[in-house]
Amino acid sequence: MEFEKIVQKLAKQYKQRIVLPEGLEPRTLRASDIIIREKIAQITLLGPPAEILEFAEKEGLSHIQHATIIDPLNHPKIEEYAQMVVELRKKKGIGLDTARELIKNPLYLAATIIKAGDADGEVAGAENATGNVLRPGFQLIKTIPGVSLVSSVFVIILKDKEFGDDGIMIFADCAVNPDPNEDELAEIAVTSARTAKGLLGMEPRIAMLSFSTHGSAKHTMVDKVAHATRIVKDNYPNIQIDGEMQLDAAIMPDVCAKKAPSSPIKGRANVLIFPTLEAGNIAYKLVQRFAHADAYGPIIQGLAAPINDLSRGCSVNDIVNVVAITAIQAYQNKKQAD
Ligand code: ACO
């Protein structure tokens, strides 16, 4: 709850414009009403205006009238946006007709609106799969300069405050890259460190997880994690990182003292980097269910402007919080670019 209050308070200060392409989705409309009422962000909804306003009136969502509502099939900037898509997808040889068709899809239109500077971030996924939400962002918004890989983190809030920073930890990548190579794993670690710092004000202590600690097992999967750790250490000497290491050595000071006595993070990791998406995705769900932890995410990182993906089982409250997180990311991306 504390985390939710903090992100909503921060988002209010930043006054960002967030586009919600699933504009007719009931939870999205209920969340939009709260977001506008609480001044967490300015909202742009994509969908047929008459139907959106009719739903809002029926449900008593009186703040929806203050949203910008855009009909994807009838938008005054369609031609300008289509030209922009042609330019951005030049290497793929996309023509004007294809571009016009593409941006009738609200998920592509949302990414185009952001790229044109008419919104600052996007939240979707209440009714679309992760890949469909992210792909337009990969293709049109692309990555922050200096970052080549989009990845994701979960903010995990544990009941047991002895772990991480007073119970707060970052897990990555649990949602985007199925099998990162060593360079990609290194980039996930560096980008996650930036997110930990930017979003939560954490001083990151990163553990690169494996089934081996400092060479206790030999396998190509172990080598991948050890090499990724070396890449980060060589290129970012200021980042506190250790690996490869097992989870117990990463989070238990007494186990770390035995298995990795020279470890700079001393069993006090607050950022856990998993070797594959299988490991990361299973791990965060285990912690969420068995330890009754709160898991906020996936928070997508590395895009030049933020797009965040909702679970299709999300609640209205989840949408409010993800919009707040997206607004913070949008503000920080712009601040870094200045
Ligand atoms: N970072 C940056 N760019 C990327 C990335 C990335 N991680 N992945 C793909 N791209 C780019 C490609 O280079 C390509 O660019 P181009 O069109 O300009 O050449 C574009 O995105 C499309 O690439 P594809 O390979 O076609 O992308 P695809 O759609 O196959 O894959 C996706 C992207 C959907 C995110 C894929 O990585 C995926 O399915 N990941 C797993 C998502 C998932 O199911 N997660 C679990 C559920 S989430 C949860 O449980 C919380």
Centre of ligand 1 from the C-alpha of residue 200, in Å: 26
Taking residues 262-282, what's their average pLDDT? Answer: 97
With 70 as the cut, is the pLDDT of residue 178 above it?
A: yes
- Kindly provide the residue ranges of all beta strands, DSSP E only, lying in the chain, ordered along the sequence: 17-20, 42-46, 68-70, 121-124, 151-157, 168-172, 205-209, 240-245, 271-273, 294-301, 307-309
With 80 as the cut, is the pLDDT of residue 197 above it?
A: yes
DSSP code of residue 326: H
Residue with tokens 């003292």: 257
CA nearest 135: which of 101, 100, 104, 108? Answer: 108
With 80 as the cut, is the pLDDT of residue 221 above it?
A: yes
DSSP code of residue 245: E
pLDDT tens digits for 110-158?
999 999 999 999 999 999 999 999 999 999 999 998 899 999 999 999 9
Torsions phi, psi of 203, nearest 5? -95, 100
* 3-state class percentages of the chain: helix first, strand second, coil last, to nearest 5: 50, 15, 35
The per-residue pLDDT for 319 is 95
Q: Are 31 and 44 in contact (CB under 8 A)?
A: no
Residue with the nearest Cα to atom 23 of ligand 1? 135
> Ligand 1 pocket: which of 138, 173, 187, 276 to mutate (most atoms <8 Å of CB)?
138
Among 5-9, 189-193, 243-247, which stretch is predicted with the lowest mean pLDDT?
A: 5-9
Taking residues 290-303, what's their average pLDDT? Answer: 93
> Ligand 1 pocket: which of 90, 128, 152, 176 to mutate (most atoms <8 Å of CB)?
176
**What radius of gyration do the chain's Cα atoms show?**
21
The per-residue pLDDT for 84 is 96
Residue 158's Cβ-side half-sphere holds a number of Cα atoms within 13 Å equal to: 19
pLDDT tens digits for 12-55?
999 999 999 999 999 999 999 999 999 999 999 999 999 999 99
The per-residue pLDDT for 192 is 97
Residue 89 alpha carbon, nearest atom of ligand 1: 18
User: What is the separation, in whole angstroms, between the first and last Cα of the chain?
Assistant: 32
With 90 as the cut, is the pLDDT of residue 2 above it?
A: no
Q: What is the mean pLDDT of the chain?
A: 95
pLDDT band at 3 (very low <50, low <70, confident <90, very high): confident
Q: Which residues contact 173 (CB under 8 A, 6 or more apart)?
A: 151, 152, 153, 180, 188, 192, 273, 274, 277, 280
With 90 as the cut, is the pLDDT of residue 230 above it?
A: yes
With 70 as the cut, is the pLDDT of residue 1 above it?
A: no
CA nearest 126: which of 323, 297, 310, 306? Answer: 310
Ligand 1: list residues with CB < 6 Å: 130-131, 134-135, 138-139, 143, 149-150, 175-178, 281, 298
Q: Is 95 exposed, middle or buried (0-12, 13-18, 19+ CB in 10 A)?
A: exposed
